[in-house]
Structure 1
Amino acid sequence: MADGEKANAKTTRNRLIIIGIIIAVVASVVVIIAATSGDSEPAGSFSESTTEVTQQDLVDRETVSGTLQFSDAQDLVAQSSGTVTSLRSDGSKVVRGKALWRINQQRAVLMFGSVPAYRSMSVGNRGADVNQLKKNLKKLGYKGLSNDNSFTSATSDAVSQWQDDVGLPQSGSVFLGQVIFTPASVRVAGQLTQVGSVVQPGAPMLSVTSQIREVAVDLSTSDQSLATLKEEVDVTLPDGTNILGRITSIGTVATSNAAPGQQGANTTSTIPVTVTLDRPGQARQWDSAPVDVGLQANRVSNVLTVPISALLALAEGGYAIEVITDTDRQLIAVDTGLFADGQVEISGAGIEPGTTVVVPTR
């Protein structure tokens, strides 16, 4: 190659090197500008929002399993003998004055009362069962009944009218088996016999409940301290809805999950706990369902709280929150208390309800 050609080639290479350096520098500047602009945010960086310190009650809850069910389950039995000719179906509601079943085509009519029917009633009888019979007849619209415990001739007249209306023989006396007393209307949970069966007094006829839903919890005895009568609890339904309830009964007899004589390390014992729902209508779509019950494990009242994410860990240990005032921002060390429901109890110099604090967000 001639000397002139070598010189030209060298010059060309030098120019290419210079151009490459310029391109690299320009690219670096573009990257720096992009990195410092607001168009994109580096991975792992934080933004922030603000909230206010609030004063409230804070409750830490422990979740246990429960079952949504109808309350006051009981079995109703026959009080006369014969062939079952009619029987209420599962899920049906029976109100005062309506028949639960028929034996030999004779109705067993539901009436309200706490004293079970245990005898026939006729003129001259006295007692609490007579009084509740008369109250029921009054509610059903029959007249001439006094408010006392005596079965009088006027009572007999009213009974005779009632028997005629419901298709029973007009005797003026109430024979055992014609009336079944329960505290209120019932819902049929299940049939315990069937039409055509021959029954005797005491034979199971229907399993019934009240119309009111409640929650039953088999609480481990190790968690018994979490249950307090009348204490408010959270109930989470299968669809995620939360409703409030209160503990209305706590059993005193523990039962074990082990077979007799087979106690072991894995044996657990439980006590029954009943929760009455504040608004049972919110659970009306379920007859029975598993639910979660939040029992109070700890509670503090009238404390200052912030979101847990507002806490900043200090290098020297402990926590601080970043406070915003009209003029500046500053870190204030705080003491923490109860953590619950995404909030934390705090106290510190100058912290009061309404104080604006920074909450870092990813």
Structure 2
Amino acid sequence: MTASPKSRRRVLVSVAGVAVASLGVGVAAGSRISSPEDAAAKTAPPKASQITVPVAKKALSSKVVGRGDASFDGAVNIRVETSGLTTPAIVTGKVPAVGSTLTEGKALLEITGRPVIGLAGVLPMYRTLSPGSKGPDVLQLEQTLDRLGFDPGTVDDEYTLDTSAAVEQLYEEAGYDAPEPEERFTQAVDQAKKQVDAAKNQLRQAQSQLKAAKAAKAKDTSVQQGAVDDAEENLADAEDAESEAKFKAGTPLPVSEVVYVKTLPRRVDDVKVERGGTVNGVVMSASGSSLVVTLKVDAETAQRLKAGMVASLDLDGTAIAAKVRRVAKNGSTYDVVVAPNTLTASQLALLREANVRVTIPVKSTSGKVLAVPLAALSSGSDGGSRVEVLRNGQVELVPVTVGLSADGFAQVTPKGDAKLSDGDQVVVGK
């Protein structure tokens, strides 16, 4: 059976529609299909670009920063040598309170009613000193007396009557009677005076006899003259003996009445005795009257520090000006002792026994300099330093001289004809 022309047209239209639809589906599918190279290109990260920072103009300061403990400087134990006492070493007064200050030339304690005077010195009292004593302890005493304004005569290692007079002034200034010499010395003086008086009487008698002989016009007065000569010689010997006795009876310095401490004044940290008690060993411990902060550093850091350097303490956000007092080896580490310049009463209370941040500038630039991050520096083939400067989209290598480094930055100066200015962009990474 033959189809009509109308039927054939419907079939052709239908086939054409299917073809068009299939073409659309193919095109759409084709648009979603890509090669492996295209896929990799689409998923790869973008090309790396340089990370830059501007060259800055700033002041640099290299510093040591750490934490330290506050304490009163240089604690020492104070002992009184009581071996020279003939009675028990009973504490009778002047017991200091914790926190009080020991002042040079003043009594820090009383034992058996006598003062124990504090003096600054490195040698301890190990014997009683008196006229005729010689040695380094005498020299230390005379140096101390002279420094305190009590004239000991010639400052040397010999205890003289001038030294005795200066010791008397020391006691007078401290508010006490000077020590008395031993009884045997005062008895020797009394005996010597009697000998002088006897010699004077003998001389007067001899002179009277000589005068009488001459008045009688005796032809030979040699006997009477010899008696006068002998009496004069005896008197001279007696007067010399009296002078020696008085010298030995000069004011002494008992071993139990002076304590030497390396430095004074000092703060009393602890008291080991009480009034009515007996002294046995350490009587008190004392430290420097100034508060210091001590931080520990390694040997390499210690080599960069020295006494006199400026420092600062961070006390609850307030910077306290300070100075390095000393750097001392302590085992495998070093102690850096820093002392505040001044403290108010409230700051002293806050700082006592606190742990605080300490900053010690070691080196600084003179004003503002060109500075770049340390990451911007690299080494050239010649071993010199350089930075990469991004200019107009191009990287330019600029040779530089590196100065002080601090806080992650380094001072740089362009070499020769190279140009580097504040604000130039230097590469620190990619």
TM-score of Structure 1 vs Structure 2, range by shorter chain:
0.5 to 0.7
What code does the residue aligned with 1:53 have? K
Structure 2 residue corresponding to 1:115, chosen from 102, 118, 123? 123
- 1:182 equivalent to 2:190? Answer no
Indicate how the Cα distance of structure 1 residues 141 and 294 shifts in structure 2: closer, same or farther if over 3 A, else same: closer
- 2:145 and 2:360 map into 1 onto residues whose CA distance is 45
1:225, distance to aligned residue in structure 2 (A)? 2.7
**Residue 71 of structure 1: aligned partner:** 73
1:57, distance to aligned residue in structure 2 (A)? 5.4
- 1:68 and 1:217 map into 2 onto residues whose CA distance is 9
**Residue 196 of structure 1: aligned partner:** 275
- 1:209 equivalent to 2:287? Answer yes
| TM-score, structure 1 normalization | 0.60
- 1:151 and 1:247 map into 2 onto residues whose CA distance is 36
**Residue 100 of structure 2: aligned partner:** 92
- What pairs with 1:223-302 in structure 2 (closer than 5 Å)? 223-228=298-303, 230-231=305-306, 234-240=311-317, 241=319, 243=321, 245-246=323-324, 248-251=326-329, 253-254=331-332, 271-277=333-339, 280-281=341-342, 285=348, 286-294=351-359
**Residue 53 of structure 1: aligned partner:** 57
Question: Which whole-Å deviations, capped at 9, do the CAs of 1:71-122 have from their partners, x for residues lacking one?
Answer: 2221111223222522122222222211111123321111222211111100
Q: Is the 8 A contact 1:67 1:291 kept in 2?
A: yes
Per mean C-alpha deviation after superposition, the further-off stretch among 167-176 and 117-126 is: 167-176
- What pairs with 1:312-331 in structure 2 (closer than 5 Å)? none
Structure 2 residue corresponding to 1:134, chosen from 142, 147, 156? 142
Indicate how the Cα distance of structure 1 residues 82 and 242 shifts in structure 2: closer, same or farther if over 3 A, else same: closer
Indicate how the Cα distance of structure 1 residues 106 and 185 shifts in structure 2: closer, same or farther if over 3 A, else same: same
Per mean C-alpha deviation after superposition, the further-off stretch among 153-162 and 203-212 is: 153-162
- 2:154 and 2:256 map into 1 onto residues whose CA distance is 24
Local SS of the residue matching 2:94:
strand
1:52, distance to aligned residue in structure 2 (A)? 6.0
Give the alignment's Cα RMSD to 1 decimal.
Answer: 4.4
Local SS of the residue matching 2:118:
strand
Determine which structure has the larger helix proportion and give its number. 2
Local SS of the residue matching 2:316:
coil
Per mean C-alpha deviation after superposition, the further-off stretch among 185-194 and 171-180 is: 185-194
1:322, distance to aligned residue in structure 2 (A)? 8.3
**Residue 32 of structure 1: aligned partner:** none
Question: Which whole-Å deviations, capped at 9, do the CAs of 1:235-292 have from their partners, x for residues lacking one?
Answer: 43323316454473342524xxxxxxxxxxxxxxxx3412344x53258733443122
Question: Which whole-Å deviations, capped at 9, do the CAs of 1:196-245 have from their partners, x for residues lacking one?
Answer: 352335x21221122344332244xxx44322164457543323316454
- What pairs with 1:157-168 in structure 2 (closer than 5 Å)? 157-165=165-173, 166-168=175-177
- 1:68 and 1:100 map into 2 onto residues whose CA distance is 26
Q: Is the 8 A contact 1:137 1:158 kept in 2?
A: yes
Local SS of the residue matching 1:122:
coil
Indicate how the Cα distance of structure 1 residues 98 and 144 shifts in structure 2: closer, same or farther if over 3 A, else same: closer
**Residue 28 of structure 1: aligned partner:** none
How many residue pairs match? The answer is 277
Indicate how the Cα distance of structure 1 residues 190 and 275 shifts in structure 2: closer, same or farther if over 3 A, else same: closer
> Runs of 5+ in structure 2 lacking a partner?
1-53, 83-88, 181-250, 377-385, 426-430
**Residue 153 of structure 1: aligned partner:** 161
- 1:103 equivalent to 2:165? Answer no
What code does the residue aligned with 2:331 have? V
Q: Is the 8 A contact 2:119 2:261 kept in 1?
A: yes
1:342, distance to aligned residue in structure 2 (A)? 6.7
Q: Is the 8 A contact 1:321 1:357 kept in 2?
A: no
- 2:296 and 2:389 map into 1 onto residues whose CA distance is 42
What code does the residue aligned with 2:79 have? V
Local SS of the residue matching 2:144:
helix
Q: Is the 8 A contact 2:311 2:323 kept in 1?
A: yes
Taking every aligned residue pair, what percent have the same amino acid on both sides?
A: 18
Q: Is the 8 A contact 1:67 1:217 kept in 2?
A: yes
- 2:284 and 2:252 map into 1 onto residues whose CA distance is 25
Question: Which whole-Å deviations, capped at 9, do the CAs of 1:285-338 have from their partners, x for residues lacking one?
Answer: 334431223478x97978953376xx8xxxxxx986789xxxx9x997668978
- What pairs with 1:8-47 in structure 2 (closer than 5 Å)? none
**Residue 40 of structure 1: aligned partner:** none
**Residue 37 of structure 2: aligned partner:** none
Structure with bigger gyration radius: 2
Q: Is the 8 A contact 2:129 2:138 kept in 1?
A: yes
1:60, distance to aligned residue in structure 2 (A)? 6.0
- 1:115 and 1:82 map into 2 onto residues whose CA distance is 25
**Residue 204 of structure 2: aligned partner:** none
